[in-house]
C-alpha cells in the first residue's frame, strides 16, 4: 500500500473531497426512494367520512381534511432520530477506519479482527454488489487462493503486506458461498418465472432501452474511475453542484404552486398512535441507511485517499445532515407538486385519493417518480416539460455520482488483492454490466433488490459495530480517531453509546 502515499492518490482540495463524499449519497435514495417511502408511511387509519369532501373545498375545510387523513410526521421524526443514533456514528466509523488503514473495507476488517472475521469485509463488498448487482469477479478471484497471508501482528491490528494479499487461506473459501448467495437469489427468481413471461419482458420499451442506459452509465462512470481519485473528484465537482441547483430550483418552483401548502401540511401532519407500530421503526431505519449509505463501505473506500489532516469526524457529522436535508427538500418538492397539480386539474379528487396515488409504487417501485411526475408536469405546458427534463437530468446525475462510488469500492477492493488499477476497473465494469442485465430486463428483479438491500444495510451496519466492540470502543476512539487525526474534531463519548 505504499503507492497510496504517493502524490496523486489523495484528494487535491477540500471542496472536491466534500463534493465527492456528497456524491456518494446524493442519489436516487433521496430523489426516488425517500418521497415514495414517505408517502407509503402515511397512516391509513384516518379515512373518515370527512375525507370524502372534494379537494375543491380544501381552502375552507383544509385542516379538517388533512387531520382526518394522518400524514407522515411520525415517520420523519423517527427517520431523523435514526440519523443521529445510527447513521452518523456508523459513517464516522467508516471514515476513520478508511483514513487509518488506507484500504478497502476488506483490508480494514482483516487488520482489525484477523483472518477469522475476513468474511465480514466480504459482506461489505457483497452489499455494494447487491445494490448495483455487482458480483461474480471476487468469488472467482478468491477461489484461486490457496496459501496463507503473511502478516505480523501489532497489538490487535493485522498489518498485511499488500503484495501478498492475493494468497488467501483455503479455509476462507467459505467466503465464496456468501458472495454466490446474491447470484443464487437472482437465478432462483429467473427459474421460477415461466419462459413466456421472461420472453415477453424483452421488448424495446421495457428491456433494450434500460439496457442501453445501463451501458451508457457504466461507460461514463468507467471513464471517471479509470482516472483514479482525480477523475472521481472532477466528476463530482461538475455534477453535484448542478444536481443541487436543480433540486433547489424545482423545490422553489413547487412552493409557488397553488395548493402546494396542502401537500406540505399533509406531510407534517402526525398520527402519534403509529409510534407503537414496529413497522415504522424498521422502515425509518432502512430508509435512513439507504439515504446515507451508512454501513455500505463506500466511505471507507473514499477515506483510503484521506490524510491524517483530513477532518473525518467533521465530515462524518455534517455531510449526513446535508444529505438528509436534501431528502426532505425532495419530499417537499414531490408532495407539493403532486397535491397542487392534482387538486388544480382534478377538483373532485379527495385527499385520500391523492395519497393512494402517491402510495402506489408501480412497477419496479417507479410509480411516484417515474410515472406521475412526467404526467403531472406535462399538464403545465412547455414550462412543465422543461421542469420534467431538469428533474430527470438531476436523477441521472444522482445515479452517476452514486454509481461511481460503487465501482470505486469494488475496484479499490480488487486493487488490495494486488491487481493494478486498470485491470481492477475493467473487471468491475464488465461484471457490473453482465450481472446488471437481470434487473435491467425485468422490473420484478429490480423491486426485489430495493426490498432486500434496504434490510441488508442494517446487517452491514451491525458488522461495523462488531468491529468497534471487538477492538474496544474506548481504544478505537482514542487511538484510531482522536490520536491519529490531526486538526480534526475530537470524537465525543456519546459515539460510544451509539456504536456499542
Q: What residue segments make up the domains of the chain, in order of their start?
A: 2-499
- 14 assigned binding-site residue: no
pLDDT at 122: 63
Residue 222 CA to its chain's centroid (Å): 19
Could you count the other beta carbons within 10 Å of the beta carbon of residue 373?
Answer: 23
Q: pLDDT by residue (tens digit) across 28-49? A: 778 778 888 888 887 544 443 3
- List the grid coordinates of 433: 454490466
The dihedral region occupied by 395, where left means phi > 0, alpha psi between -120 and 50, and beta the remainder, is alpha
Reported pTM: 0.78
Given a cut of 50, is residue 338 above it in pLDDT?
yes
Q: Would you list the DSSP string of 251-303?
A: HHHHHTSTTHHHHHHHHT---GGGGG-HHHHHHHHHHHHHHHTTTSSHHHHHH
pLDDT at 100: 93
- 423 assigned binding-site residue: no
- List the grid coordinates of 342: 392534482
pLDDT at 113: 82
Q: pLDDT by residue (tens digit) across 91-139? A: 999 999 999 998 888 888 888 887 777 666 665 555 554 444 333 233 3
Question: How is residue 489 annotated by DSSP?
Answer: P
In angstroms, the CA 102 to CA 300 distance is 8
In angstroms, the CA 235 to CA 225 distance is 9
Residue with cell 469500492: 409
Q: pLDDT by residue (tens digit) across 204-244? A: 344 566 777 778 888 888 888 888 888 888 888 988 898 88
Architecture field, domain 2-499:
Up-down Bundle (1.20)
Higher pLDDT, 410 or 188: 410
How sure is the predictor about 149, in pLDDT bands with cuts at 50, 70 and 90?
Answer: very low
In angstroms, the CA 3 to CA 299 distance is 20
Amino acid at each position: 500500500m505504499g503507492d497510496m502515499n504517493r502524490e496523486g492518490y489523495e484528494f487535491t482540495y477540500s471542496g472536491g473531497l466534500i463534493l465527492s463524499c456528497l456524491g456518494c449519497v446524493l442519489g436516487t435514495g433521496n430523489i426516488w426512494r425517500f418521497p415514495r417511502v414517505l408517502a407509503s408511511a402515511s397512516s391509513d387509519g384516518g379515512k373518515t367520512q370527512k375525507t370524502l369532501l372534494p379537494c375543491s373545498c380544501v381552502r375552507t375545510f383544509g385542516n379538517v381534511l388533512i387531520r382526518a387523513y394522518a400524514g407522515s410526521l411520525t415517520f420523519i421524526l423517527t427517520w431523523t432520530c435514526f440519523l443521529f443514533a445510527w447513521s452518523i456514528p456508523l459513517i464516522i466509523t467508516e471514515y476513520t477506519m478508511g483514513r487509518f488503514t488506507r484500504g478497502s473495507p476488506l483490508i480494514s476488517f482483516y487488520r482489525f479482527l484477523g483472518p477469522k472475521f475476513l468474511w465480514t469485509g466480504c459482506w461489505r463488498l457483497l452489499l455494494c454488489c447487491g445494490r448495483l448487482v455487482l458480483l461474480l469477479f471476487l468469488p472467482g478471484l478468491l477461489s484461486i487462493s490457496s496459501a496463507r497471508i503473511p502478516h505480523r501482528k501489532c497489538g490487535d491490528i493485522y498489518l498485511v503486506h499488500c503484495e501478498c494479499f492475493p494468497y488467501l487461506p483455503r479455509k476462507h473459501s467459505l467466503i465464496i458461498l456468501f458472495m454466490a448467495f446474491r447470484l443464487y437469489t437472482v437465478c432462483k427468481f429467473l427459474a421460477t418465472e415461466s419462459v413466456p413471461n421472461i420472453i415477453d419482458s424483452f421488448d424495446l420499451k421495457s428491456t433494450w432501452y434500460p439496457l442501453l442506459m445501463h451501458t451508457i452509465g457504466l461507460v461514463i462512470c468507467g471513464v471517471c474511475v479509470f482516472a483514479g481519485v482525480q477523475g472521481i473528484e472532477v466528476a463530482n465537482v461538475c455534477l453535484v453542484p448542478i444536481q443541487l441547483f436543480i433540486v433547489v430550483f424545482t423545490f422553489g418552483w413547487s412552493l409557488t404552486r397553488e395548493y402546494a401548502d396542502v401537500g406540505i401540511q399533509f406531510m407534517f401532519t402526525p398520527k402519534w398512535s403509529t409510534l407503537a407500530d414496529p413497522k415504522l421503526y424498521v422502515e425509518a431505519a432502512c430508509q435512513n441507511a439507504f439515504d446515507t449509505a451508512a454501513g455500505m463501505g463506500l466511505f471507507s473506500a473514499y477515506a483510503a485517499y484521506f490524510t491524517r489532516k483530513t477532518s473525518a469526524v467533521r465530515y462524518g457529522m455534517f455531510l449526513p445532515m446535508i444529505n438528509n436535508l436534501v431528502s426532505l427538500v425532495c419530499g417537499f418538492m414531490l408532495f407539493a407538486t403532486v397535491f397542487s397539480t392534482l387538486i388544480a386539474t382534478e377538483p373532485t379528487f379527495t385527499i385520500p385519493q391523492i395519497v393512494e396515488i402517491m402510495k402506489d409504487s408501480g412497477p419496479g417501485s417507479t410509480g411516484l417518480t417515474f410515472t406521475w411526475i412526467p404526467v403531472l408536469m406535462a399538464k403545465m405546458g412547455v414550462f412543465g416539460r422543461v421542469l420534467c427534463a431538469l428533474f430527470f437530468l438531476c436523477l441521472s446525475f444522482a445515479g452517476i455520482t452514486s454509481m461511481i462510488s460503487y465501482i470505486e469500492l469494488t475496484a479499490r477492493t480488487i486493487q488490495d488483492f494486488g491487481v493494478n488499477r486498470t485491470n481492477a476497473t475493467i473487471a468491475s465494469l464488465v461484471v457490473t454490466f453482465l450481472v446488471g442485465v437481470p434487473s435491467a430486463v425485468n422490473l420484478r428483479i429490480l423491486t426485489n433488490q430495493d426490498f432486500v438491500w434496504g434490510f441488508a444495510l442494517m446487517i452491514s451496519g451491525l458488522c461495523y459495530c462488531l468491529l468497534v466492540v471487538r477492538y474496544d470502543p474506548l481504544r478505537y476512539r482514542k487511538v484510531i480517531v482522536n490520536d491519529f487525526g490531526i486538526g480534526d474534531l475530537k470524537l465525543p463519548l456519546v459515539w460510544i453509546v451509539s456504536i456499542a
